[in-house]
Amino acid sequence: MFKTVIPFGPQHPVLPEPIHLKLTVEDERITEAIPSLGFVHRGLERLADLRDFHQMIQVVERVCGICSMIHAVCYCQGIEELMAVEVPPRAKFLRVIWSELHRIHSHLLWLGLFADSFGFESLFMQFWRIREKIMDINEATTGNRVIISVNVVGGVRRDLSHAQIKWVLSELQMIEQDIKRLENTMLSDYTIKKRTVGKGLLTAPQASELGAVGPTLRGSGVAQDIRQTGYAAYGELDFEPVVETDGDCYARCKVRFRETLASIDLILQAIANLPAGETRQKVKGRPEGETVTRVEQPRGELLYYIKANGNKNLERLRIRTPTFANIPALLTMLPGMWLSDVPVIVLSIDPCISCTER
């Protein structure tokens, strides 16, 4: 059988961001996949040399719009550790609430795009319609829909009033009902199962060995979620990672679907236990030392390595995003699959090229 090399991307209908895969195929079966990155690499880590450590919050929020809040939490957490700043408890709970809102809207965005990738456009519309309500909550509580910019070193710059909490609770009730209404279609539909079950298999040992993270890891049966470390206020909430064991596209889809409901539960718990008090600790001085800090983004584990030497600029800021970690796993899923399954398998890791090309 002749081998043919087919370029997939960097422009592709199902991928709004540029990534290129060099696919070697025999007949229409994939035998090898090699990625090309760097089409829009921005070198944001290097900006730590030019912006002071407070200004860097605005920079890291722009690594990725969809999970900007969680990038900022990770960064602030690292700086707070270096400066030994104790964040007020209320701020920790507020960070959880806005982080989980980001997780829900990211997963709803992905569920819609995933449905679109196999031609289910009405389902795409339904998921994005629900997502709008989350964006409305973001806008009403922070002033922005996507990059909400509430984090500062030492806490958060906004608070939730009683009226806002009451409104958020009623909205979440409706959102939960709306999501559950789509469960049967998303997880039981014949066409969806036909396109996803058994596609892009990744076993639990492979997932661990290849450093997979997030729903890609948990869809293969590994119950690891950085929220288990109890950062921010997660340690005070009842939380179990969502796990599926089949390791295929369908399992990853089920993990994300169930995680939207788990996030709603976490927000409800955080609101119920929201302590009174300050939302921000005054910060003096400059960071010094080195640290590694991790949080759980919608796509998986996010790691920041921060090194500071007591100056206003950091000595080094290293950002390892979840999509970067999931690329080796993706390259393992593709061989043996049909060419027509590639868009679905690539989307199943929820690739964020904005994060990868930080």
Binding site for another protein (CB under 8 A): 34, 36-38, 41, 43, 45-46, 49-50, 208-211, 224, 226, 228-229, 289-293, 301, 303, 305, 307, 315-316, 318, 320, 324-325, 327-329
**Smallest distance, Å, CB 238 to another protein?**
18
Nearest distance from residue 41's CB to another protein, in Å?
Answer: 5
**Min separation Cβ 146 and another protein, Å:** 26
Distance separating alpha carbons of residues 265 and 98, to the nearest angstrom: 13
Q: Name the nearest CA neighbour of 92 among 320, 295, 322.
A: 295
Phi/psi-derived region of residue 320, left when phi > 0, alpha when psi is between -120 and 50, beta in every other case: beta
Shortest reach from residue 36's CB to another protein, in Å: 8
Query: Residue 319: phi, psi to the nearest 5?
Result: -120, 120
Strands (E), the chain: 3-8, 20-26, 29-36, 151-152, 155-156, 288-297, 300-309, 316-320
CB of 68 to another protein, least distance (A): 21
Report yes or no: 306 and 290 within 8 Å, Cβ to Cβ.
yes
Task: Give least dist CB 276 to another protein, A.
Answer: 31
Q: Output 213 or 266, the one with its CB closest to another protein.
A: 213
Q: CB-wise, 249 or 302, nearer to another protein?
A: 302
* C-beta closer to another protein: residue 35 or 198: 35
HEC string of 52-113?
A: CCCCHHHHHHCCCCCCHHHHHHHHHHHHHHHCCCCCCHHHHHHHHHHHHHHHHHHHHHHHHH
Phi-psi region of 41 (alpha: psi -120 to 50; beta: other; left: phi over 0): beta
Residue placing its CB nearer to another protein in the complex, 202 or 274: 202
Residue 143 or 310: the one with the smaller Cβ distance to another protein is 310
Residue 328, preceding peptide bond in cis (omega within 30° of 0):
no
Whichever of 41 and 166 has its CB closer to another protein, that residue is: 41
Residue 195 vs 227, nearer CB to another protein: 227
Q: How far is the CB of 54 from another protein (least distance, A)?
A: 17
Q: Which residue carries 């469960």 as its tokens?
A: 183
- Rounded CA separation 162/157 (Å): 17
